Amino acid sequence: MRVFKFGGASVKDADGIKNVYDVLQKVGYEDVILVVSAMGKTTNALEVVIKNYFEKSTELNSSVQEIKKYHNQILLDLFEEEKHEVFAAVNAQFAELEYFLAHNKSPNYNFVYDQVVSFGELISTNILSHFMNFMGIQTSWLDVRNFIKTNANYRDAEVDWETTQQLISKNVPRKQLNITQGFLGADENNFTTTLGREGSDYTAGIFAYCLNAESVTIWKDVPGVMNADPRYFENASLLNQISYREAIELAFYGATVIHPKTLQPLQKKEIPLYVKSFVNPLLKGTCVSKGVDLEPQYPCFIVKREQLLISLSSIDFSFIMEENISEIFGLFHEFKIKVNLIQNSAISFSVCVEDKFGNFPELNAILSKKFKVEYSENVTLYTIRHFTEEAAHTVEANKEVLLKQVSRETMQIVTKELS
C-alpha cells in the first residue's frame, strides 16, 4: 500500500482539488490511502472561531459563516449543481459544529479546541471523497478517529501505538482508494484529539508504519525538500536524497517542510518518504530513505524568525550551575516557551527561545527576582547544517551577530537586522 498526504496548500480551492484528481490519474490510486489536511488556511480560521467562542465575541457567528462561505464556493466550483448530495452533507457538518458551539459545557480550552478545529479535516475529506466519486473514482471515506487512538492530551495528543496498530492493520480496506483525515485522533472516550499543528504528515507516517506501507509521498507546492525555504532564499536548490537521520535533524532545527514526528516511525521500518511537487507529479522530487546523508552535499539553511534571546546572570556574583539551570528549564516548560539554543559561560546563561503564547513577560517577572535578565526581542535564529565559510558569510552579511555556536556539522547564528 502507498500513503499519500495532501496538505492544506494542495486543496486550497477547486483547482487544487481537481489537481489531486489529476495527480491520482498520473501516479495511480489502487491500494492507496490519502491523508488530507483542512483546506487552505481553514485551521487558522477555526482557531479564530475558538477565540471568539471563549471571549464571547459578537463575531463568533460571522467567523463561522466565513468558513462556510469559503467551502460553499469550492463546492459550487466543483459540482455545478446545488442538487448534488455533497451540499447537504457539508451543511450537516457545519450544523454539527454550530450545535457544539451552542451546547458545549466544557470550560477546557484545549478540549474545545480539538472538537472545533477537527471540522476542517472532516469537511475537506468529505468534499474530496465526494468529488473523486463524482469523477468516477470509487473511494472509501474513513473516519480517522476509528483508527488512531491517543491519550486525552488535547492539542498535542500522544498515539496509543498498540491499539492504533491493531485497528489499522485489521480495518483499513486494501486494493482501493481510501481517504482519511490528517491531524486527528480520538481518546478512550471517543472524543476528538489532535496531534499538534501541521500534524498531518505525522498521520501519514502512522498509517505507513501500521500498514507496513511501500512508501509515503507528501505532495507539496515545491519540487521537494530544498536546501533552504525558497520563500526566503532565492537560490534554494532541490535535494535528491536525504537520510532519515539528516531529515530528522533538519526537521528538528525547524525546516517546516516535514513535520518532525513523521520520520522516526518510517525509519524504524525503512519505509521511504518522497516529497514531490503536486504541480509536476512525475518529477522525482526528494527521497528520504536509508543511504547517503545528503545528495547533493549542499549546506542547508533553516530560519526561525521572531525569536527572543535571553541572557541570565546571577545577581550575587555566583555561578549559574546545574541547580539554577534545572529550575530555569522547569519554568520555560511551565510557560510553554520553546528553547531553540543554549549557551552558557561562567557568569551567564543564554538561550534563544520562541514565545508562541506571549508568556515571557510573566516569566520575566519571576526570573528577575533571582537573576539579572537581559533580552533582545525579534531576533532571527539561523541554523546551517553542513556549513561552509561562504554559507556563514551569506547569513551574517548586513546583520548584527549576537551569538554563534558551532559543532561539527551544525552552525547556529542569532542575528538582529541592522536598522
Residues 6+ positions from 282 with CB-CB distance below 8 Å: 26, 27
Q: 40-69: which residues touch ligand ASP (CB under 6 A)?
A: 43
Considering only 11, 32, 38, 308, the residue that binds ligand ASP (CB under 6 A) is 38
Q: What is the DSSP letter of 158?
A: P
Q: Is 7 in the site for Mg ion (CB under 5 A)?
A: yes
Distance CA 62, CA 232 (A): 34
Could you say whether residue 285 binds ligand ASP (CB under 6 A)?
Answer: no
Direct distance between the N- and C-terminal alpha carbons of the chain, in angstroms, rounded to an integer: 54
Q: Please tell me whether residue 287 adopts helix, strand or coil conformation.
A: strand
| Interaction partner, residue 415 (Mg ion, ligand ADP, ligand ASP, none; CB < 5-8 Å by kind) | none
Q: Does 257 bind ligand ADP (CB under 6 A)?
A: yes
Which is closer to ligand ADP, CB of 333 or CB of 356? 356
Q: Report how far residue 59's alpha carbon sits from residue 382's, in angstroms, rounded to the nearest whole number.
A: 39
CB closer to ligand ADP, 43 vs 289: 43
Q: Contact with ligand ADP (CB under 6 A): which of 148, 177, 179, 255?
A: 255
CB of 37 to ligand ASP, least distance (A): 3
By CB under 6 A, residue 9 contacts ligand ADP: yes
Size of residue set near ligand ADP by CB under 6 A: 18
Binding marks (x or -) toward ligand ASP, 95..124, rule CB under 6 A? Answer: -------------------------x----
Spatial distance between the Cα atoms of 411 and 60, rounded to a whole number of angstroms: 46
- 8 belongs to the binding site for ligand ASP (CB under 6 A): yes
Partner in contact with 120, chosen from Mg ion, ligand ASP, ligand ADP, none, beta carbon below 5 to 8 Å by kind: ligand ASP
CA separation, residue 181 to residues 37, 53, 120 (Å): 6, 24, 9
| Spatial CA neighbour of 300 closest among 392, 395, 382, 228 | 228
| Cβ distance to ligand ASP smaller for residue 44 or 345 | 44
Judged by CB under 6 A, which of 4, 6, 7, 382 binds ligand ASP?
Answer: 7
Nearest-CA neighbor of 227 among 312, 133, 294? 294
Question: Are 157 and 151 spatial neighbours (Cβ–Cβ below 8 Å)?
Answer: yes
Among positions 210-249, residues that touch ligand ADP (CB under 6 A) are 220-222, 225-226, 228-231
Alpha carbon distance 133, 122 (integer Å):
17
281 binds, among ligand ADP, ligand ASP, Mg ion, none (CB under 5 to 8 A by kind): none
CA distance to 45, 200, 395, 400, per residue, from 380 (Å): 27, 27, 10, 10
Please give the full DSSP string across 375-402, using - where no structure is assigned.
Answer: EEEEEEEEEEET--HHHHHHHHTTEEEE
- The C-alpha cell of 272 is what? 521511504
Residue 256 binds ligand ADP (CB under 6 A) = yes
**Site map 10..29 versus ligand ADP, x via CB under 6 A:** x-------------------
- Categorise residue 28: left if φ over 0, alpha if ψ from -120 to 50, beta otherwise: left
Q: Should residue 197 be labelled a site residue for ligand ASP when binding is judged by CB under 6 A?
A: yes
Please give the residue ranges that form the binding site for Mg ion (CB under 5 A). 7, 198
The contact set with ligand ASP (CB under 6 A) reads 7-8, 37-38, 43, 120, 182-183, 197-200
